[in-house]
């Protein structure tokens, strides 16, 4: 399916007027993939593109709050994701039901970029609606510090246990969104991560691979197919010709199955489990016992919250003076 030609040009011109975007690179690099845009790139996305050139998988920690992103950086992990599912749980106590707003996601990316130096994959869900919304979302995410932006072909109520999954939009509609995302980039190094939820929605793997292949052909740099069996990742990579992000039980398993970005999505559940165990002990025993043994304390906690650097600045600027006088 192609949307090039006069109609395509009118859409781009309209998007540029509507969002104040610059269209000088409107058609540059479409379908070129990771390597073609690495040359000369200096923005945040250049770091992810460099990682994608390696044979070793890069670990991406899914974060629902800035503290988790800080810990990921402190432990040397190379990529973090500001995930919509994780944010839904940590900020609002709800599941990934499509109920948080694009403002939530952009703000989360911005707050995370303010505190970490590792590249951020920003979850943008469906991009905010139609292609014009996607265009604006990409530019907002870039300004917020995203190195990569993920857009999916799922919309509506989603991931609700006991309820029908959300709807998969048509291939044509998703291609329009991909075009808008590619054209909206002010930084050519920004990595566009294209996601198809067909398998997770009960559809076939063949359909999902065909879809991400089309999205990649139209400008996607990295693919993500939630629910893909790990041993099918080499097939997807070979068919699509793009790196893949997905989960795996280990770095070795990811490497053996040609996974470029190993997605670690369980941190929110692990943290919630630790808090739950502490609450069980407190309710049962009137105190926190074994569950508190592994809690973050001392110098490690001070490092997490930026205390050493803040103390140094306080001394530098004589903050102890009364009233700052």
* pLDDT at site 164: 59
Domain boundaries defined on the chain: 6-266, 273-324
CA separation for the pair 48, 51 (Å, rounded): 5
Which residue shows structure tokens 């996974």? 259
Q: Please write the tens of the pLDDT for every residue from 83-92.
A: 999 999 999 9
* Average pLDDT over every residue of 21-47: 54
Phi and psi at 233, nearest 5°, equal: -65, -40
Q: Which residues contact 252 (CB under 8 A, 6 or more apart)?
A: none
Separation of alpha carbons 126 and 133, rounded Å = 9
Spatial contact of 149 and 223, defined as CB atoms under 8 Å apart: no
User: pLDDT tier at 110 (50, 70, 90 boundaries)?
Assistant: very high
Q: What mean pLDDT do residues 47-64 have?
A: 97
Using pLDDT thresholds of 50, 70 and 90, give the confidence band for residue 36.
very low
pTM > 0.95: no
pLDDT reported for residue 141: 98
**Contact of 197 with 152, CB cutoff 8 Å:** yes
Examine the pLDDT at 12 and tell me if it is beyond 80: no
How many CB atoms are located within 10 Å of the residue 80 CB? 29
Q: Please, are residues 159 and 97 in contact by the beta-carbon 8 Å criterion?
A: yes
Q: What is the pLDDT of residue 315?
A: 87
CA 106 – CA 123 distance, rounded (Å):
9
CATH of range 6-266; options 3.30.710.10, 3.20.140.10, 3.20.20.60, 3.40.640.10: 3.20.20.60
Per-residue pLDDT tens digits for 256-306: 999 999 999 989 999 999 999 999 999 999 999 887 787 888 888 899 988
Q: How many residues does the chain have?
A: 325
Give 189-212 pLDDT, tens digit per residue. Answer: 999 999 999 999 899 999 999 999
Q: What is the pLDDT of residues 263-276, one digit of tens each?
A: 999 899 999 999 99
Tell me how far CA of residue 267 lies from CA of 85, 109, 257, 260, 283, in angstroms.
11, 17, 23, 20, 24
Long-range (24+ apart) CB contacts under 8 A made by 1-7 are: 1/171, 1/172, 1/175, 1/214, 3/172, 3/175, 3/176, 3/179
Tokens of 288: 């926190």
């Amino acid at each position: 399916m192609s949307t090039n030609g006069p109609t395509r040009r009118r859409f781009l011109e309209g998007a540029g007027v509507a969002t104040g975007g610059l269209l000088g690179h409107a058609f540059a690099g479409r379908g070129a993939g990771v390597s073609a845009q690495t040359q000369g790139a200096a923005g945040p996305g250049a770091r992810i593109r460099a990682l994608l050139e390696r044979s070793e998988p890069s670990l991406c920690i899914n974060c629902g709050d800035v503290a988790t992103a800080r810990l990921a950086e402190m432990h040397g992990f190379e990529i973090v994701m500001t995930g919509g599912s994780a944010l839904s749980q940590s900020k609002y106590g709800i599941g990934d039901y499509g109920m948080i707003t694009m403002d939530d996601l952009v703000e989360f990316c911005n707050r995370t970029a303010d505190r970490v130096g590792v590249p951020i994959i920003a979850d943008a869900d469906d991009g905010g609606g139609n292609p014009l919304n996607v265009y604006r979302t990409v530019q907002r995410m870039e300004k917020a510090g995203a190195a990569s932006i993920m857009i999916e072909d799922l919309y509506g109520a989603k991931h609700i246990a006991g309820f029908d999954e959300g709807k998969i939009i048509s291939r044509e509609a998703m291609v329009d969104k991909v075009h808008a995302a590619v054209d909206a980039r002010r930084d050519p190094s920004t990595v566009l991560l294209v996601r198809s939820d067909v398998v997770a929605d009960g559809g076939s793997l063949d359909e999902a691979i065909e879809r991400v292949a089309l999205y990649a052909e139209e400008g996607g740099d990295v693919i993500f197919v939630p629910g893909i069996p790990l041993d099918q990742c080499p097939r997807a990579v070979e068919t699509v010709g793009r790196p893949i992000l997905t989960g795996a039980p280990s770095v070795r398993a990811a490497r053996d199955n040609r996974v470029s970005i190993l997605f670690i999505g369980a941190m929110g559940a692990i943290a919630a489990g630790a808090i739950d165990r502490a609450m069980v002990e407190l309710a049962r025993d009137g105190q926190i016992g074994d569950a508190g043994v592994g809690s973050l304390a001392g110098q490690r906690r001070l490092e997490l919250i930026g205390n050493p650097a803040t103390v140094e600045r306080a001394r530098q600027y004589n903050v102890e003076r009364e009233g700052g006088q």
